[in-house]
Amino acid sequence: MHGSHFFFHLYFCSDSIDPTSREIYEGFQFVSGIDSGIARVLHGDFAFMNSGRFLRYLVASNFTDVYGQAKLHVTKECFVPFRIGFATPLFSVYTGRFSEVINRLVEAGLVTKWFNEILQEAAQQQRLKARHELGGLGSSITEEPGASVVLGLYHLQGAFILLLSGLCFSFLGFIGELISITYVRSRMRGNEVK
């Protein structure tokens, strides 16, 4: 455990009447730092608790192999979800405006977008570092940090949806032409008989 907000988790678990939370509290062990906590996780007998975003960045920047596979898993949810806030002076004239700007950034998705870009760049740098350490293995990884990503089926879903939609519309157009030609020919035969 590292950081002051983890004392909140510990406090939450120590006073809880929930048996699971009490069990978590009783099994809680503090580590001397991030490195020792991660080392125990890599050994396989420990789960390390810290900020989810920090851990995702740590995994992307230090524990990703040449092929982009992470050596650690970060859970998506925490048993005590909370947000970190900013402390401002009491009666500050900027508190309302500061909160408004932060809310706009979060609601617009910019914070998540920026964080995902940072994660992607960190993971790419780690893959390049791992490639150089392995002596050039993993040649499908590009050398430049800003280089294009190799497209997979996931990236091309939109193109395939457009292709399928186009094929459906062209098929409907073809059927419409067949119906109209059949109708015109039958009308022409009807006129010839008279």
Kindly list the domain boundaries of the chain, sorted by start residue.
5-151, 152-194
Q: Looking at residue 61, what is its pLDDT?
A: 86
Tell me, what's the pLDDT at 136?
A: 60
Return the CA Rg of the chain: 29
Residue 154: CA count within 13 A, CB half-sphere? 2
CA dist 22 and 16 (Å) reads 6
Cα(19)–Cα(29) distance, rounded to whole angstroms? Answer: 18
Contact 75, 65 (CB under 8 A): no
Decide: 57 and 2 in contact? Cβ < 8 Å: no
Residue from 167, 21, 118 nearest 126 by CA: 118
Q: How far apart are CA 77 and CA 44, in angstroms?
A: 20
pLDDT of residue 142: 47
For the chain, which ranges sit under pLDDT 70? 1-14, 78-84, 136-150, 193-194
- pLDDT recorded at residue 132: 81
The pLDDT value given to residue 16: 72
Q: What's the confidence (pLDDT) of residue 85?
A: 72
Q: What is the pTM of this model?
A: 0.52
- Structural contact between residues 122 and 63, judged by C-beta atoms closer than 8 angstroms: no
Q: For position 4, what pLDDT does the model report?
A: 40
Which pLDDT belongs to residue 11?
Answer: 58
What local confidence, expressed as pLDDT, does residue 178 receive? 95
pLDDT of residue 105: 87
